[in-house]
Chains A and B, each alone.
Chain A
Amino acid sequence: MAEIVIRNVRKEFGSFTAVQSSSFKVEDGEFFMLLGPSGCGKTTTLRMIAGLELPTSGEILIGGEDVARKPASQRDIAFVFQMFALYPHLNVRKNIAYPLVSQGMSRAEVRRKVEEAARILGIEDILDRPVGGLSGGDRQRVALGRAIVRDPACFLMDEPLGALDAEFRERMAEELRALHDRMGATTIYVTHDQLEAMQMGDKIVVMNHGVIEQFGAPQDIYDKPATLFVAEFIGSPPMNFLRFHGALPPGATQATLHHVPLGLPALREAFEGDMVYGIRPEHVRLSDAAPYRGEVLATEYLGTTQVVTLATANGEVKARIPADQPARVGESVGLDFDGRTTTVFDARSGRALRSALNEGVLHG
């Protein structure tokens, strides 16, 4: 196992820049998520780590060794593809054995290792079946078997659950995470599903348009987003954005929106101009006494909670409140914002302003 360091890696395809100069570090044994919408450069980044694409510039260190210019076969990594990519002309056992055969391992040793991998994944009974007739879940297990059988320095997974149906997905996600915990293998996992990323990852990199927007622990990314993009991409429903104009001095603990002062964590920088007051739906409460008013547009019942959509002077707001709290469409209600949890963004660049809440999390 090994740590992976990505330093100023950049990838251009002709005139198109798929990945802008990116840097991040994956600690040894970490389950690391590369998250972003399609076309954001996350798969390209993963393929560069794997050696399936060569970076235009930059360094990729696996276990301290720069492998950016080495072919995939010399990088000691395992890759799990979204479409599994099991060799269709070989049966399960031969598929799993394939990477070992290339190393010239003895037949008895190959047999032992394949059976060990099969035991870990619970697929001993299908070893001699052709891969054609397997279910999606079993194919994925075989693909994982091919990855774990050789004890690589790290696992790279490109949306490995993307081709499974919803029901299987959850189970495989749990299996994957359990497998990772048991083996302690450094894993980089690409996904566009923010829930999957939060549920499984130790750390998340959020990418957009080839740029790393933020990287950190799931809680930090959720609670302290570094950009408007992250705040919107993570969370369902996403963070509420209340647009306003004004000037805030350093140390400000209030912002005035529509003549109502709203709380915020003490700012660490001054800002003047168009800003966005960002707050998660679960930190918005309905309270008749609150001076900031909104009109209920719709309610969505979700069992224990409900999501209420409100129209305010600064835009639409969604609040996640207990399901038993009454909220009728058309009603005017007061909105109480939990000021300790909010983030203020520069509306033009999308950057979060530094505050007492996020100062330990933001980089650069």
Chain B
Amino acid sequence: MSFSITDPSPRQKAVAGALVIAYALITMLPLIWIVSTGFKSSADSIAYPPKIAFEPSLEGYVNLFTAQTRQTPEYLAENPPQTWYEEIVHEKGMVIAGPSRFGERFLNSVIIGFGSTFLSVFLGTLAAYAFSRYRIPLKDDLLFFILSTRMMPPIAVAIPIFLMFRNLGLSDTHLGMILLYTAVNLSLSVWLLKGFIDEIPREYEEAALIDGYTRFQAFRKVVLPQAATGIAATAIFCLIFSWNEYAFAVLLTSGTAQTAPPFIPTIIGVGGQDWPAVAAGATLFLLPVMVFTILLRKHLLRGITFGAVRK
């Protein structure tokens, strides 16, 4: 192996590598903290200085998924624990009364997050295609109006929306939340996708039209495959927003349709400061977006730099 002047020397490579690792550690520290706290016992989670080496425990996860009640020692002695998770609860002088609400709330998040993402991207793609390809009266003004819905902070419209939802019977329903997040995301989705579709030369569709396909077939078979990177990138942005959204969720949901973000902080109030359960909830909450992003990562990286360079 030989080195040229332009190639970094092994020493430079080592320094650069160390810097990258240090930077990664710093940025990932909060993540490591959350994930590790989820596997600590209650005592370890509040220990000072923080314990780096600890005995892993699933207490946080058990607390997260179960509702518990305190029992007398006589009762506990008479009813020995049957499973590993009952045993964890048993040791604290408690018994499992049933499942907690976390599962439901998490499912709500999945339904509302993915539902609104699907709708935003689906409608956004169609609208962006129309804006990109057809002569639409007042096109520029319409595009600006669409974008302008994004300019207000959500909290400024929260009360009107709250009243509107109450009158329409949409408060605390899945449909209401899906519609709301779709409305918020749609502007982003139309704008992002219009950019991607603008980059696809019209000739491809025209070639397909001439090759005997209808306009819609040309859209589906020629435009969609080429807009895939843009659609993936847009889907990730939409999902991240609706998955993490907190302000509307707190105001507009309380039970049936409550998502995980407003629910997780309430875990802390149940039976003392249960940090491991909160951390466990946060960890699980991180997973879907992470998995989704990793699955689409290749598209995302190509997607957000797409069109930056003139071909």
Contact = CB atoms under 8 A, between A and B. Distances in A.
Interface of A: 50-52, 71-73, 75, 77-79, 81, 83, 85, 87-89, 98-99, 102-103, 146, 150
Contacts of B201: 83, 85
Contacts of B296: none
Nearest to B203: A85
A51 B222 contact: no
B254 interface: no
A63 to B, nearest CB: 17
B240 interface: no
26 contacts: A50-B210, A51-B210, A52-B210, A71-B214, A72-B206, A72-B209, A72-B210, A73-B210, A73-B214, A78-B210, A79-B206, A81-B203, A81-B206, A83-B203, A85-B204, A85-B206, A85-B207, A87-B204, A87-B207, A87-B208, A87-B222, A88-B204, A99-B211, A99-B212, A146-B207, A146-B211
B226 A88 contact: yes
Given A88-B226, A89-B226, A73 B207 contact: no
B213 interface: yes
Interface in B176-231: 201, 203-204, 206-215, 217, 222, 225-226
Contacts, number: 56
Main secondary structure of the interface of B (DSSP, over half): helix
Main secondary structure of the interface of A (DSSP, over half): loop
A85 B209 CA distance: 12
Given A81-B203, A89-B226, A102 B213 contact: yes
Contacts of B210: 50-52, 72-73, 75, 77-79, 99
B204 A71 contact: no
A276 B241 CA distance: 72
A55 to B, nearest CB: 16
B156 to A, nearest CB: 40
Kindly name the residue among A50, A71, A72, A98 whose own CB sees the greatest number of chain B CB atoms within 10 A. A72
Contacts of A99: 210-212
B262 to A, nearest CB: 43
Contacts of B204: 85, 87-88
A102 B203 contact: no
Nearest to B200: A88
Nearest to A90: B225
